[in-house]
Amino acid sequence: MSSRTIRIGLCGLGTVGQGVWKHLSANRSALEARLGVRIDLAKAAVRDPRKVRAVTVPAGKLVADPLSIATDPTIDIVCELMGGTGLAKDVTLAALHAGKIVVSANKALLCEHGAALFAAARKGGGRFFFEASVAGGIPIIKALREGLVANRFKLIYGILNGTCNYILTRMASEGAGYPQILADAKRLGYAEADESLDVEGWDTAHKASILAYLAHGVWVKTPHMIVDGITQITQADLKYAATLGYGIKLLAVITRDFERNELFVRVHPTLVPKDRVLANVNGVFNGIAVMGDVVGTTTYIGRGAGQDATASAVISDIADAIVLLTTGRDITPVATTAGVAELLSVPVQPLRLSPLERIRSRYYVRTTVKDRPGVLAQIATVMARNGVSIESVIQTTAERPEAASLILTTHESDEKAMRATLNALGRLKSVVEKPLLLRIGDFSE
Ligand code: NAP
Ligand code: HSE
């Protein structure tokens, strides 16, 4: 082992930070032997240094100012594990400007400011590593940028939020209520500090943006995506979906049309046929299917949130950072569209974001209607007028008096026709509750 000591500063010692502290401390000797250096957990910054924590941090190592770690010339690697896009951005930029390596788990920051962070790293001579930002302990960033570097990616889709998958799984299997399950997800350290990021789909969208960047070299921001969360899904939907042969999963879907040079990024609850691998990825687990033109489909499954899984990903970045510091060996850079065009000496074709209404899918519609003669015919007429073909209908008694729940599935249609259908259904006097629209995802694996 060389006599070199690598000094690490953790900005944030919450769920993830404490996991990193705990596992780096426990496995220090093995990591030091593998990497050939001494590792010093030099400092940690927190908001409240008096808070009782599960890890013991020696006096003098705990500070209240994360910027002091980012700018400390004796710190080699800064781990930003606070979250948010305010102070976290300042800390990350300060460290990158100072030429340091930043390891981050912050997907919201990357989606919002990824281009600026990479530009700051290039300018300041720093590096930005972010394995923990997508899919917890699954090394999906490494897979896309290293293992699958030979491929072009027509389709990437998957379950990217552990909290939502945990909630949907327990709602389906136990019939437990949503508030209780969400409280458990928070207690277990799966949910974001602001849990609306999870359940409204934004966290999945941030992760989809990062995967789209890795696969296609462009940053897609959330206003250019469809982003629907799981808050409208009821236990009844999960039951009806199961009767129809599906599970409901919150999926990110990233589709590239190479002929038109277009990209779609969308996030929505999706009915997945029960015999598909992803329909059986349950609890806090995430699952991602990546279709490469050379390798075919590869699928990755593992814990997508929580202290230990996320610490595993952060420590893998720390190990890459140490290799870079000691040998100069860098990880494979992201292949930007401009970079690839330059390599091949072809003009850069700007990648367009496809109009979202062009998405084609089969659909599930749940609505509550007055239980009167002729109502089903009215619904069918509205759908027919919009060119939407019904595949199946289930009618059951609704909780309201003299009302019925209607669950329809359609043959393949497009977003534009479905939105027009939903608006028209919402205007019918016989429809007593706003209809819910879910997509049916029949991706071949
Ligand atoms: P957390 O438990 O809320 O921890 C946040 C930490 O940051 C706490 O130690 C907090 O200090 C510190 N902090 C917050 N604001 C600060 C400030 N102004 N000054 C100094 N310290 C400050 O969050 P987490 O779950 O560990 O998540 C951290 C990051 O990892 C987020 O970006 C999150 O999206 C990401 N992530 C989380 C998971 C997961 O499963 N939890 C998985 C992947 C990625 P106090 O302890 O004193 O409050
Ligand atoms: N809140 C996130 C989730 C943490 O539940 O997936 C992991 O990124």
Q: How far is the CA of 198 from the centre of ligand 2 (A)?
A: 7
- Comparison of pLDDT for 442 and 145, the residue scoring more: 145
The yes-or-no verdict on residue 271 having pLDDT over 90 is yes
pLDDT of res. 77: 98
The yes-or-no verdict on residue 383 having pLDDT over 90 is yes
Specify the ligand 2 atom closest to the Cα of 198. 1
The yes-or-no verdict on residue 340 having pLDDT over 60 is no
Q: How far is the CA of 11 from the centre of ligand 1 (A)?
A: 8
> Which ligand is nearest the CA of 69, by number?
1
- Comparison of pLDDT for 338 and 145, the residue scoring more: 145
Which residues belong to the active site?
Answer: 207
Name the band, by pLDDT with cuts 50, 70 and 90, for residue 402: confident
CA distance 106 to 219: 15
CA distance 239 to 276: 18
Q: How far is the CA of 227 from the centre of ligand 2 (A)?
A: 16
Tokens representing 197 are 């990021």
pLDDT of res. 289: 98
Name the band, by pLDDT with cuts 50, 70 and 90, for residue 43: very high
Give the pLDDT confidence of 64-90 residue by residue, as tens digits.
999 999 999 999 999 999 999 999 999
In the block, tokens 């709602």 appear at 171
Q: Are 69 and 78 in contact (CB under 8 A)?
A: yes
pLDDT of res. 339: 53
Q: Determine the average pLDDT of the residues in 140-152.
A: 92
The yes-or-no verdict on residue 311 having pLDDT over 80 is yes
pLDDT of res. 24: 98
- SS3 of 393-433: the string is EEEEECCCCCEEEEEEEECCEEHHHHHHHHHHHHHCCCEEE
- Which residue among 15, 163, 288, 308 is best mutated to probe the pocket of ligand 2, counting the most ligand atoms within 8 A of its Cβ? 163
CA distance 71 to 100: 9
Q: Determine the average pLDDT of the residues in 419-438.
A: 95
CA distance 42 to 57: 10
- Ligand 2, atom 1, lies closest to the CA of 191
The yes-or-no verdict on residue 338 having pLDDT over 60 is no
The yes-or-no verdict on residue 344 having pLDDT over 70 is no
- Comparison of pLDDT for 401 and 4, the residue scoring more: 4
pTM exceeds cut of 0.75:
yes
Q: Number of C-alpha atoms within 13 angstroms, CB side, residue 317?
A: 30
pLDDT of res. 350: 66
| Least reliable range by pLDDT among 63-67, 77-81, 268-272, 396-400 | 396-400
> Which ligand is nearest the CA of 313, by number?
1
Specify the ligand 2 atom closest to the Cα of 207. 8
CB of 13 within 6 A of ligand 1: the answer is yes
Q: How far is the CA of 27 from the centre of ligand 2 (A)?
A: 24
Q: Determine the average pLDDT of the residues in 256-281.
A: 94
Q: Determine the average pLDDT of the residues in 251-261.
A: 91
Q: What percent of the chain has pLDDT over 70?
A: 95
Q: Who lines ligand 2 at CB under 6 A? A: 136, 161-163, 190-192, 198, 203, 304-305
Name the band, by pLDDT with cuts 50, 70 and 90, for residue 333: low
CA distance 442 to 143: 24
pLDDT of res. 1: 66
> Which ligand is nearest the CA of 198, by number?
2
Q: Inter-axis angle of helices 15-26 and 28-35, to 10 degrees?
A: 70
Q: How far is the CA of 80 from the centre of ligand 2 (A)?
A: 16
Radius of gyration of the chain (CA): 24
Give the pLDDT confidence of 108-140 residue by residue, as tens digits.
999 999 999 999 999 999 999 999 999 999 999
CB of 18 within 6 A of ligand 1: the answer is no
- Ligand 1, atom 12, lies closest to the CA of 12
Give the pLDDT confidence of 361-379 residue by residue, as tens digits.
999 999 999 999 999 999 9
pLDDT of res. 443: 78
Give the pLDDT confidence of 17-41 residue by residue, as tens digits.
999 999 999 999 999 999 999 999 9
Specify the ligand 2 atom closest to the Cα of 133. 8
The yes-or-no verdict on residue 436 having pLDDT over 90 is yes
Q: Are 271 and 241 in contact (CB under 8 A)?
A: yes
- Domains along the sequence of the chain with CATH: 5-129 (3.40.50.720), 140-303+343-352 (3.30.360.10), 356-440 (3.30.70.260)
Q: Are 276 and 440 in contact (CB under 8 A)?
A: no
pLDDT of res. 423: 95
